[in-house]
A and B are shown apart, each in its own frame.
Chain A
Amino acid sequence: MAHLTLNHFLVIGALLFGFGMLAVVTRRNAVAVLMGIELILNAANLNLVAFGRYVAGGISGQVFGLFVIVLAAAEAAVGLAIILALYQMLRNIDASQVTTLKE
């Protein structure tokens, strides 16, 4: 059983970021986009904790991770609220259809 190194965590983090980014960029459903963002945030979390464990030491990485989790919760709430408002206004949550930012 090979020893777990920093690189393993970084690869997982990069994959998570990639999948999250893919979801954000490609999915049309606004809720799915939000879920993509969650994946990106968790990728960042994983990197923070991994760097905290292997490079910096101490707990600062984990504290940052906790902050990001709280931030993600707040972000999810706000994001869902925006989606609800959007739905109420446009009866639609398809991100490719909502182009009011154009004007």
Chain B
Amino acid sequence: MELQHAAHHLAPLATQAASYLWLIPFFPLVGAVINATMGVRLQRRFGKGLVHSISIGAMVASFAVACVAFATLFGLDGEHRFLQDTLWNIFTAGKVSVDLGFALDPLSMMMTLIITFIGTLIHVFSTGYMADEPSYWRFFAYLNLFVFSMLLLVMGDNFVLMFFGWEGVGLCSYLLIAFWYTDSQKAAAGMKAFVVNRFGDFGFVLGLFLLFWALGGAWHKGPEGKLTYAETDMASLHTTANAGHEAGEPAAEHDSGHVKVGPTLNFRELRDQIVITSTGVAEHLKHQTLFGFGLLAMIGILLFVGAMGKSAQLPLHVWLPDAMAGPTPVSALIHAATMVTAGVYMVARLNFIFALSPTAMGWVAFIGALTALFAASIGFFQYDIKKVLAYSTVSQLGFMFIGVGVGAYWAGAYHLLTHAFFKATLFLGSGSVILGCHHEQDMRKMGGLGKLMPTTKWTYLIACWAIAGFPWASGFYSKDEILWKAFTQESMSFLGMPAPWLGQLIYFMGIIAATGTSFYMFRSYYMTFTGEYRGGHGDGHDEEHHGHGHTPHESPLSITLVLAALAAGAVLAAILGIPTAWSGSAPILEHWLEPALPAIVKFAEASHSTEFLFQAIGVSAGVIGWFFARVLYKDNQSHVPARLLERWKRAWTVVYNKYYVDELYQATVIRGSVGIARVLSWFDKNLIDGLVNLAGAVTRVFANIDGAIDRYLVDGAVNLVAGSALSAGSILRRVQTGRIQTYLYGALVGAIAIVLINFIIK
């Protein structure tokens, strides 16, 4: 209903040609190709400097072009902010037409800037972090390839390009997790990420097929109750919808004059025909069902399954913590800042589809909330600093999905942006710590690093501040906006049933998760940076083996500068999202993203004072988490954690082991697949092989018979002919005596015989 109201002023997107957009993904691709093909030789001859110069150069060039595009986009007025660059048609088959085209609207522009900017910083960070790595070139080639794929995912103007990018980032993620492939555990982690992602991709592709198919026709119940598929005549749909509107809203007509309707893979065409109500497509989709389920809900849920895989939502989150086996810059770039947000981006991009289905919205938001809570609780008890951050990422992604699920698309996208900054800072900070502690990741063997690594400490603290949701740092604004919107969202459905309580439930889950976030982040901060250093002496005999158990040191400039830049970003990003309740005008980012998010979702009206109250609750959640973390973990003084651990040993074991989700997978999916494989193998070995062998045996019998026929019958006939000729020859040769007189006898007898015959015949 809301959609129809808003539809008056929604026109088809006006596009602006920008023929340089292809350069943005092109530069990283070139960098990747150069380093992949010639990296070994370049590194051997010219050193590592050239290798990373190529990569970073490609990133800087890409970022520069992205800035130009941003300036162009910024110069246009809101309605026309859509840059388009179509290179060529990849293929056309029936109704499927795929162009190699790039498009930038405010949403993909934001993503492109995040990717190129943070990507560049992380490339710089990697020069310090990976300095001792022998296959330096391989790392940078992968990183560039990743950025290329991610840009393809974000900038592609149709589903196919998005899917290319989607798979490309999955591939790069696999390559980079298993970067140190000689360690079989790391190689296995890479494979796990790849396989789990495949599960999600399957859902994504199914959702895509359903959507494409739904735009082309509908199932109709035939006379005998049989379902038949019939193509929908979109032109007639168009006129009937118009006829319906004519009475009340004649203004709607002029919008749809040149909107192409029908199946399409192009985001813009999809948006136009769904958003503009006079085409009738949105209404048509809403009423379509398949096997009794709402088709739109199915499409939304299946597409979200893809997002669940890529963005590590329950129950497909298992790969992300294992992905920490990769080098830390990779964890920061791929498994925190960019790739894992692809699912959030996809839902935000398709906001107009998700907004049509309350069931899909409820599903997305509920899974997001469940994941946020679940992952936060695991984060409480991890000792590996990167594992803490990994679960934190899963949890924060859950928050983003709450945002895009409840319809606060801009808030979800905003949390994506702020998270990219503060989580990149945290990961790179942890990378700096790990480097300083000589590749030690266990927080129990750290402590007291604040004095030794001041820059790392301060940037880490700022990022903690941001993620915990304290005011004036970016995380506060994005998280509170999401939770506030969740609370005021009352029109979602839960599995097909209207559920006005779902928003509130999600809000409470979110608040608890936010408290947890604050707790585990400050726990990791206090364990790492305060107290005495526990690494070099006493319990840490591992270090003695390495031969350098001496005190940690601050990281090189390439690392600390990047940390400072990202931490500054984590704070400054707050400017983009100052809420209306504070400033009186809409947040900058909301205003900016407006043209890209045409879906209108209704939220309950509430006064600013209520909003302030909720912000206060959000802050106090953060404070409570921080307070407990400080009491329990500051300076490693308190004995309470140890006592609590004794007391709740069993519960702790369950959570510490990540609720045994991996074991569950092991017992169900993996055991199941292995079982099926075994059955199939048995089937193969006994039945298929038997059949094959039988066929072989039968053939052999026939061949033997055939051979016998050949040998005895055919060969016999041939030999008989030859033998008879031979024996005839040997008989007849006796006639040839060589004696002239014998011949003369012959001639004489012949002559007499002729004479005699002559007489007889007469």
Chain A contacts to B: CB under 8 angstroms: 21, 24-26, 33, 95-96, 98-103
Contacts and interface: CB of A to CB of B under 8 A. Distances in A.
A26 B739 CA distance: 12
Contacts of B736: 102
Contacts, number: 29
B737 interface: yes
B741 A25 contact: yes
B740 A103 contact: no
B739 A21 contact: no
Interface of B: 736-741, 744-745, 748
Contacts of A100: 738
A59 B652 CA distance: 152
A102 B737 contact: yes
B741 to A, nearest CB: 6
B608 to A, nearest CB: 132
A101 B738 contact: yes
18 contacts: A24-B741, A25-B744, A26-B741, A33-B740, A33-B741, A95-B739, A95-B740, A96-B739, A98-B739, A99-B737, A99-B738, A99-B739, A100-B738, A101-B738, A101-B739, A101-B740, A102-B736, A103-B738
Given A21-B748, A25-B748, A95 B741 contact: yes
Contacts of A101: 738-740
A100 B738 CA distance: 6
A100 B737 CA distance: 9
Contacts of A21: 748
Contacts of B744: 24-25
Contact of B741 (A96, A102, A103): A96
Given A24-B741, A99-B739, 20 more contacts: A24-B744, A25-B741, A25-B745, A26-B741, A33-B740, A33-B741, A95-B739, A95-B740, A95-B741, A96-B741, A98-B739, A98-B740, A99-B737, A99-B738, A100-B738, A101-B738, A101-B740, A102-B737, A102-B738, A103-B738
Contacts of A24: 741, 744
A79 B738 CA distance: 18
Q: Is the interface of B mostly helix, strand, loop or mixed?
A: helix
Nearest to A26: B741
A22 B418 CA distance: 137
A103 B123 CA distance: 99
A24 B736 CA distance: 19
Contacts of A98: 738-740
B12 to A, nearest CB: 107
Contacts of B748: 21, 25
B731 to A, nearest CB: 15
Contacts of A33: 740-741
Contacts of B739: 95-96, 98-99, 101
Nearest to A30: B740
Contacts of B737: 99, 102
Contacts of B745: 25
Interface centre among A21, A25, A33, A100, by most chain B C-beta atoms within 10 angstroms, is A25
Nearest to B751: A21
B51 to A, nearest CB: 90
A26 B740 CA distance: 11
In the A-B complex, the 9 residue pairs with the smallest Cβ-Cβ separation, listed nearest first, are A102-B738, A99-B738, A101-B738, A25-B744, A25-B741, A99-B739, A96-B739, A102-B736, A95-B741
Nearest to A102: B738
Nearest to B736: A102
Contacts of B741: 24-26, 33, 95-96
A21 B741 CA distance: 10
A101 B745 CA distance: 16
A42 B745 CA distance: 21
Nearest to B740: A95
B315 to A, nearest CB: 100
A95 B737 CA distance: 12
A56 B31 CA distance: 122
B751 to A, nearest CB: 10
A9 B748 CA distance: 23
A21 B748 CA distance: 9
B755 to A, nearest CB: 13
Contacts of B738: 98-103
B738 to A, nearest CB: 3
Nearest to B744: A25
Contacts of A99: 737-739
Nearest to A28: B741
A60 B739 CA distance: 37
Contacts of A96: 739, 741
Nearest to A27: B741
A100 B739 CA distance: 8
B664 to A, nearest CB: 99
A100 B748 CA distance: 22
A25 B742 CA distance: 8
A103 B736 CA distance: 8
A17 to B, nearest CB: 11
A79 B736 CA distance: 23
Contacts of A26: 741
A18 to B, nearest CB: 11
B732 to A, nearest CB: 13
Nearest to B733: A102
A102 B735 CA distance: 9
Nearest to A24: B744
A92 to B, nearest CB: 13
A13 to B, nearest CB: 16
Nearest to A96: B739
Nearest to B745: A25
Most buried by A among B737, B741, B748: B741
B221 to A, nearest CB: 102
A82 to B, nearest CB: 11
A99 B739 CA distance: 5
A35 B745 CA distance: 18
Nearest to A101: B738
A94 to B, nearest CB: 10
A103 B738 CA distance: 7
A41 to B, nearest CB: 15
A98 B745 CA distance: 16
Nearest to A21: B748
B745 to A, nearest CB: 6
A47 B736 CA distance: 34
Contacts of A95: 739-741
A95 B745 CA distance: 14
A96 B742 CA distance: 9
Which of the listed residues B740, B744, B745, B748 has the most CB atoms from chain A within 10 Å of its own CB? Answer: B740
A67 to B, nearest CB: 23
Contacts of A102: 736-738
Nearest to A97: B739
A17 B737 CA distance: 25
A51 B748 CA distance: 24
A40 to B, nearest CB: 11
A33 B736 CA distance: 20
A96 B739 CA distance: 6
Nearest to A100: B738
* Of B736, B739, B748, most A-chain CB atoms within 10 Å: B739
A79 to B, nearest CB: 12
A95 B739 CA distance: 7
Contacts of B740: 33, 95, 98, 101
A84 B682 CA distance: 96
A102 B748 CA distance: 20
A95 B736 CA distance: 15
A99 B738 CA distance: 4
B514 to A, nearest CB: 118
A101 B742 CA distance: 12
Contacts of A25: 741, 744-745, 748
